[in-house]
Every structure is written in structure tokens, then in C-alpha cells.
Chain A
Amino acid sequence: MTSLRAITIIGFFVVMELAVAVETYLTSGSVLVPRLSEVLAVLGTGLAAFSLQADDPPRRPWLVFFLAMLTVPTARLVGMLELSLAGFPVKVLILIVSNVAIVAALYLFTRVLRASGFAPDWDDPEARGTRNMLIGFVSLLGLAALANQYLVITRATSAANLTIQTVSIFADAAICAAGLYLMWLVRPLMGGSVAQPYLLIAIGGGVFIVMDFIQSIQQVATQDELASPVLTGMALLGWSCFALAGFAQRRLLKTADV
């Protein structure tokens, strides 16, 4: 029951970032590699979900996470068709579903950890210090989301733009808050292979919240419109974290086979 090796994780990130750099150099743009990272996130989370047995408690959050990842390339394909529903691009509606699904998956992950009996109790006096830190960070996150939303409202160029950015800001804030809570629950498990997928998910969520803040300043509605190589690189990092989380969970299960 082993986790992914550090060199594997770092190597994955490096290969992805190099690939996008090469694509940008050759084509003056970066389309395929970012989309590949999203597909890898689908693949990784799907492998994790379907490696677990149907009645295993961790299967449900992995399944929801997989479905959340699946909606992203689906939205891209739908976006090419330029479908709209009641004036809203269907692509935007699908991305809203994706954000909600990720929040739901993270909540389900925290529920599995708490139900196992291995996670710390919220009222545990020994965990008071880290608990207070968590509350502090989440509070700051909420304030940052509100400030971000103010920027979005003052700079939005369309209803669809405003909607997707608003949903993205608060969903990513919820994702980051859930990710921080997940890390708080996983902290006692550090040093064990079971912690790795959760840490990767939490890091991926953290990357996207930072991106959201930057994007709202740049008035970018969705990640297709990323112009900065820094943002492209960050998006790659986020999707890679989600992909690697799934691969790590899969490895945990496969190396348990007798």
C-alpha cells in the first residue's frame, strides 16, 4: 500500500509544464496541453473511483469528483457548439455544475474521514491551536472572496461573465475552505500513504482559488481565455494535482493486491 513517489509527482508537473511551453513556442498558443491536463484529471479520478468496490465508503466522493472533472472537457466540447439556454451559454451552466460537484465531493471526502474514526474530533483540546488557525484562514478566505466579488461586479462585461465569475469565486472559496478542513482532518495521517490523495486534492483546490483572484482582476470569464503563461501554468498545476490524487488513490489500491 504505497503512495506515489515524490520524484513521480515532481516529474509529472515538470513534464506538463514543459509540454505547454513547447506548445506555446511552436503554436504561439496553449490549447492542447491544458485540455490534456483536464482529461488526465478525468482519467485519474475515474481510475480511483472505479478501483473501489461499489459499497466502499470512499467510492462515492471519488465518483462525484470524477463526474465533476468530466464536466470540464464536456463543457469545452459544448462550448464549441455555442449552445445557449435561456440566454446563458450551456458551457457556463455546465461549469457551474462542475464547481458545485467539486464542493460536494470535498464535503463527502471529509465525511469519510470523520466517519472512519481516525480523524481528529473538532472539540479535541489537543487540536485547538490548528483548529483556530483553520477558522482564521477560512475567515480570511471569505473576506477575500467578497473583495474579489466586488471587483467582479464593477468590471463584469456581460451577465454570463458575471455569473460564471461569481459562481467560480464562491465555489473556489468553498473548495479552498473544504480543502483546508480536509488538510486539518488528514494532518494526523501524515507519513501514511492514505494522506497523499487528499493532500493533492487540497493543493489543487488552493491553486484554483489563487487563479480566481488573478483572473477576476484580468476580467477573464473562463480558463479558455487565459493569456498569461503564469495562469496557464497554474491551471496545469491544479488539474495535475487532481489527476495525481486519483493516480495516488489507484496506486494505493493496486499495491494492496496480494
Chain B
Amino acid sequence: MGDSKVATEVVRVLTPLLGPHTARRALAMVCKRAGKDSGSLGPEDLPVAHQTLRPMLRTLVGKDIAVKVLADLGAQGGS
């Protein structure tokens, strides 16, 4: 089973910043926290994605970029 639309969006949004390898690792972290595989991740899991990624991104790149990335994820992953 392939990635869900939300999973695909997570990877797509994170790849320009983190690169493809780490973007997929980040997706795996989100899936683990949501208790789902990448094929089952849905819009209802976006809050979990935000909770997982926010502190990591904030630590790595600072608040402004973290906010922008999560805003992109929220805007596109839920549509």
C-alpha cells in the first residue's frame, strides 16, 4: 500500500528543507506517534504531525521557519 495523501504532503513539504531522506524519517516519526502506517495517515492526524515536528524544527531552524513549514503542512495536507 502506498503513502496516503497526507503522508505524501508531509514528505513534499519537508523535503526542500530537510532533504528526501530526513523527510521520510520525519514521516516515520509522525506515523509512529499517530500509531498508523504511512498509507493510513489522514487529515485528522495533522495535529499529531504538528506536535511531532514543531519542537524538532524549532530546534533545527528556529521559530520562523518552523511556523512557515507547519503552516504549509496544515494548508495543504488537510485539503
Contact = CB atoms under 8 A, between A and B. Distances in A.
Interface of A: 1-2, 52-53, 55-59, 112-113, 115-118, 188-195, 252-253, 256-258
Contacts of B55: 117
A149 to B, nearest CB: 37
A2 B15 CA distance: 11
B68 A256 contact: yes
A189 B20 CA distance: 8
Contact of A258 (B16, B25, B68): B68
Contacts of A2: 16
Contacts, number: 83
Contact of B62 (A58, A113, A195, A257): A58
Main secondary structure of the interface of A (DSSP, over half): loop
Interface size class of B (residues with CB under 8 A): 20 to 34
Contact of B22 (A58, A192, A258): A192
A126 to B, nearest CB: 11
Nearest to A59: B62
Contact of A189 (B19, B62, B65): B19
B25 A192 contact: no
Contacts of A193: 16-17
Interface in B20-41: 20-23, 25-26, 29
A257 B68 CA distance: 8
Contacts of A59: 62
A137 B12 CA distance: 35
A185 to B, nearest CB: 11
Contacts of B22: 118, 188-189, 192
A253 B19 contact: no
Contacts of A192: 15-19, 22-23
A189 B60 CA distance: 11
Contact of A113 (B23, B60, B71): B60
Interface in B56-70: 56-65, 68-69
A253 B64 contact: yes
Contacts of A1: 16-17, 61, 65, 68-69
Contact of A191 (B19, B26, B68): B19
A188 B62 CA distance: 19
Closest 10 CB pairs between A and B? Answer: A192-B19, A191-B19, A56-B62, A116-B60, A116-B59, A192-B18, A256-B65, A256-B68, A117-B56, A189-B19
A253 B61 CA distance: 8
Given A56-B58, A112-B60, A117-B59, A252 B65 contact: yes
Contacts of A56: 58, 62-63
